[in-house]
Amino acid sequence: MINDRTHFAKLMDKWREAEALAELIRQFADDGGRHRLKIKVEHPDPVVAGNAERVINDMMKNNGFGVAVQKALERVERKRDDAREEFLQEAGAGYLAPSTAERQPGDSLRYPPPPRK
């Protein structure tokens, strides 16, 4: 039973993490992230790296920013939906599966006795 709880907790954490990441991306886009986002390019020639960064950052200020944020949001929302579906499938399968536990002392308090004839 404890193992099931840790498994469900991990699935729930995965779902919550994806949801939080999606919310952060939305807030970043809404709160003027366009002006704070900077791209770094690694290249042995600093002139090439600087020019590439300038071109990419200029593109990001126009339509590129919206496209980049939209793609990131779609990817995270897909991940969130997959995590949610996995959690619900596992939780539903665990809830609907017949119990493998045998009756323990004290079960008579949980389950009413069979009706007398």
The one-digit pLDDT tens for each residue of the chain (117 residues) are 456 668 888 888 888 998 888 888 888 777 666 555 666 677 788 888 788 777 777 766 667 677 777 888 899 999 999 988 988 888 776 665 555 555 555 555 555 666 776
Q: Any idea where the domains of the chain sit in the sequence?
A: 2-95
* Gyration radius (Cα) of the chain, Å: 26
pTM as predicted:
0.53
Categorise residue 115: left if φ over 0, alpha if ψ from -120 to 50, beta otherwise.
beta
d(CA 34, CA 12): 32
Tell me if 11 sits within 8 A of 87, measured CB to CB: yes
Q: Which two tokens stand for residue 68?
A: 């980049």
Angle between helix axes 65-96 and 2-30 (nearest 10 degrees) is 160
